[in-house]
Structure formats: structure tokens, C-alpha cells
Amino acid sequence: MPALLSRFRVDLLLILVAGTWGSTYLVAKELVTPQSVVALLALRMLLASALMATIVAARRNRITAAELRAGVLLGLVLAAVFAFETFGIANTSATNAGLIISLTIVFTPILDFAVSGRRLPVRFFLAALLAIGGVALLASEGDFQAPSLGDLLVLVAAIVRAVHVTTMFKLTGNAPMNSLHLTTVQLATCAAIFSAASLFYGDSLPHFVANLEPGRAVLFLYLVLACTVFAFFVQTWAVRRTSPSRVSLLLGTEPIWAAIVGIVIARDNVALAGYLGIALILAGTAWGRSLEQRHRLATGPSAASLIGYPER
């Protein structure tokens, strides 16, 4: 019984993280405008990296040169993910953003296959086509019109996130590194990039902070504390108490929560074709994840094994 309760607690916290991530798109949508994207990201990364750095210092651990090099390189890619994703959110609905970004689940194994030559089951590509077809339906609402700029930007973010995951596997697969250190360096790199960019584009940091009224400030702190710092620690804690596959599976419910939050809370207008698209995306990504996990168990670790651990 104690073991069952412990497993239930782990699963519950992981589902809570997935739900938190699913709400990220609505929260960002409420906070961001095309002019405030860079300032928002700069402030978010500054606070998140400062909190993480404080924890690293409190543990009296030193970040190694290898962790610093890998973290800076990965941070450059992660900054691109955040930029494309957040500019996309500013130009599309929370529902579309949360579902389109889930294509990372199928893009990552395909990219890993292209880079390493690791073979994938033919059925995986059918699952990928199913999910991509769902995105086409969701974005066009069945009229087969061109997707919006926001949809395209989030789609690019999903591709770049797959690059981030694959690069992380290549850099750390043979030389395991402290995940806290690696995340801290990545977030600090993002903070430096967006802080510098805010000097030349859109709202300045002081202007953004000055216009952050109490309600928006609460949403912003939720984005930093719950969606970034809390989620990281739950992942790190949970992976020591259950299997990586189970962590990945439960965190993979994020697009379901994104759809629920977008439709029920944000009241995004979704036509019948859009609902069909949502069903195809969820089915395709879930099927693809299942096929990839079974294939990985048979052939060994791959970049896709890290999909469940994005820095949000």
C-alpha cells in the first residue's frame, strides 16, 4: 500500500506539471503582445535563471566547463524555441499553439533518424502524417486556407525544439551532466540574449515592468515559478522514483490539457473540422510516442528519450 500511494503521488505531480504546461499558452496569450514578446521573455528568463542559480549556489556545487559549454550552446537553440513559440502565441489561439507545439513528439524521432540513421518503424511515419494532417485541419478549420502567421511560427518552434532535444542528446548522451546545472546555464543564456534584444526591439524591460498591473503580475509569476522552476524540480524528483518512460508518458498529456484549457477556459472558437484536427493530433502524437518508446526499448536510447524533459 505505501508503494502504491507513493506511485500515485508521483503520477499526480507529473500530471499537475503537464496541466501547468498546458495552461502556459493561455497565460502567455494573456500577457503578451507582438511588441512585448522580447521584454516578457527577458524578464521571465532573468527571474527563472536567478532562482536556479541561487539553488545551485545553495548546494555549493560548481558548474563544470563541459556543462557551461553545452549549456550555452543549448541555450542558443532554446532561445530560438522560446522566440518562435511566444511570437506564435501572440498571433494565434492558445488551443492552436498548445497542440501544434506537440508535434515535437513526432519531429524529434524523425530528426534523430535523419542524423543518426537510426531506423524507425514504418507505422511511426503514418502516426506523424496523422498528426500533421490534424494540424492542417485545425489551422485551416477545414477550408484548406493558408495557416496563420502564428500557427506557422509555432510549427517552426516545434521543429527547433526537436533540434534542441536532439542536440542535447548528442552533447550529453555520452557524458552525463547535472541537469540542474545544464538548465541554469541554458536559462541564463536565454536571459542574456533576450535582455540584449530588448534594447533594440519592442518594449523595454522597464516599460514592460511598469505596465505589469497586479493581475498580470500574478500570471507572470505563475509562468516563472509554476511553469519553469516547479516543473523542473518535479521532473528531477519524479525520474528518481519512477521510470523515464512513465515520466515521458504522463508529461506527454500536455497537449490534452492545452486543448482543455484553450476550449473550456479561453473559449477559443473551434469549428467541427478543428475538433477533428484536435483528435487527429492527439491520436497521432500518442501513437507515435508509443511506437517510438517500444522501438527504443528494443534498440537502445535515442534523442526522443529526452522529449519528456523540456525546459518550459
Number of neighbouring beta carbons within 10 Å of residue 54: 11
Q: How far apart are CA 150 and CA 135, in angstroms?
A: 13
Domain range enclosing 82 = 14-306
30 assigned to some structural domain: yes
- Please tell me what DSSP assigns to residue 22: H
Q: Tell me the pLDDT band of 42, cut-offs 50, 70 and 90.
A: very high
Would you say how long the chain is, in residues? 312
C-alpha cell at 126: 503514418
Look at residue 38 and tell me if it is in a domain: yes
Q: What is the mean pLDDT of the chain?
A: 86
- Answer whether residue 223 is part of any domain: yes
Query: What's the rounded Cα separation, in Å, for the pair 147 and 139?
Result: 5
Tens of pLDDT along 236-265?
788 777 766 677 778 888 899 999 999 999
Q: Please tell me the total count of domains within the chain.
A: 1
Q: Which of 17-26, 140-149, 215-224, 284-293 has the lowest mean pLDDT?
A: 140-149
- Residue 7 domain-assigned? no
For residue range 62-117, list pLDDT tens digits in order. 899 999 999 999 999 999 999 999 999 999 999 999 999 999 988 988 888 888 77
The verdict on residue 48 lying in a domain is yes
- Tell me, yes or no, whether 81 lies in a domain: yes
Q: Is residue 9 part of a domain?
A: no
Confidence of residue 301 (pLDDT cuts 50, 70, 90): low
User: Is 3 inside any structural domain?
Assistant: no
Tell me, what's the pLDDT at 310? 47
